Amino acid sequence: MFTENEIAPLASIEEWEDDVLIRYPEPNKPAKTKEEYRNYNTPQRDTVKEFYRLNHTYQTYDFVSAKEADFLKFDKKEMRVWDACDFLNTLVDDSDPDTDLDQLQHLLQTSETIRADGHPDWFVLTGFLHDLGKVLCLFGEPQWAVVGDTFPVGCKHSDKIVYSEFFEANPDSQDARHNTKYGVYEPNCGLRNVHMSWGHDEYLYQMLKDYLPEPALYMIRYHSFYAQHREHAYDHLMDAHDHAMFEWVDKFNPYDLYSKVPVPPNVKELKPYYEDLIAKYLPETLRF
């Protein structure tokens, strides 16, 4: 259905997060010049743009419904949680072995920074798990249906979404059911009633929703929803409870984006702690 270039426009899925960092640089740090960001103004930025073109063109209400119907059956694989992290780690970036962290290192850097700040253990666990949904890539899903900024489908696309001009090619933009401010939704209906573009956030949320405290679930489900947690573009769909819970999403985001520690976490040393934490909250195996 999609060509190889459409499935994997990015050399690695980290290129998306590198680009998010350009949009949202770390506050209170001297601003980097564009030249200091690797790959800025290079062909790799064009691949990010192409990635968003595909994402914004193909993530329709019907596309999301079809992915939900397929993946929320969780009939693809059953794994122990730690083994799933190892599995995710097979998603290696062969384009830039020196600079890119592997997936497990990103998870551990996020969770260890949360732990060092003295947060509750379920928050630490959330940091450790938050990108586990990226295993979708290993099931052959296109990159633009796994990572990238997420946004509501079934209503008008906000112009605060990055590269929003590409939504012109999205069939929902011409569909009277889906192109009004509220579309298929009611004003302030609450995000629990809103379908988000399909990706690793929603997938992992659905997998873990019975096991973690609600703030953790909000962090997982909406961590890529930059149009809301950074740009506040969808207040009209949110209710008071969403607003209260988004304080946690805001708290989580800097750990995801900026937790680069000088010494990489020692996986072997940390494994027993995380195995205990997993056992405290989650079943022995998860179904993917």
CB of 83: closest distance to Fe ion in angstroms? 20
Closest CA to 256 of 220, 214, 218: 220
Query: Per CB under 5 A, which region of 94-102, 118-126, 229-237, 252-260 contacts Fe ion?
Result: 252-260
Residues 88 and 204 sit within 8 Å (Cβ to Cβ): no
Structure-token pair, residue 113: 């920074």
Structure-token pair, residue 8: 């994997």
Query: Per CB under 5 A, which region of 24-32, 65-73, 248-256, 269-277 contacts Fe ion?
Result: 248-256
Alpha carbons 252 and 110: distance in angstroms, whole number: 9
Q: How many CB atoms lie within 10 A of CB 202?
A: 23
Smaller CB separation from Fe ion, 185 or 203: 203
Does 256 sit near Fe ion (CB under 5 A)? yes
Closest CA to 173 of 190, 187, 154, 189: 154
Does 100 sit near Fe ion (CB under 5 A)? no
Does 102 sit near Fe ion (CB under 5 A)? no
Smaller CB separation from Fe ion, 18 or 172: 18
**Contact with Fe ion (CB under 5 A): which of 14, 15, 19, 131?**
131
CB of 264: closest distance to Fe ion in angstroms? 16
CB of 245: closest distance to Fe ion in angstroms? 18
Closest CA to 141 of 76, 221, 226, 208: 76
Smaller CB separation from Fe ion, 100 or 172: 100
Closest CA to 211 of 274, 116, 278: 278
Residue given tokens 């937790």 in the structure block: 259
Smaller CB separation from Fe ion, 6 or 17: 17
CB of 187: closest distance to Fe ion in angstroms? 29
Residues that bind Fe ion (CB under 5 A): 131, 256
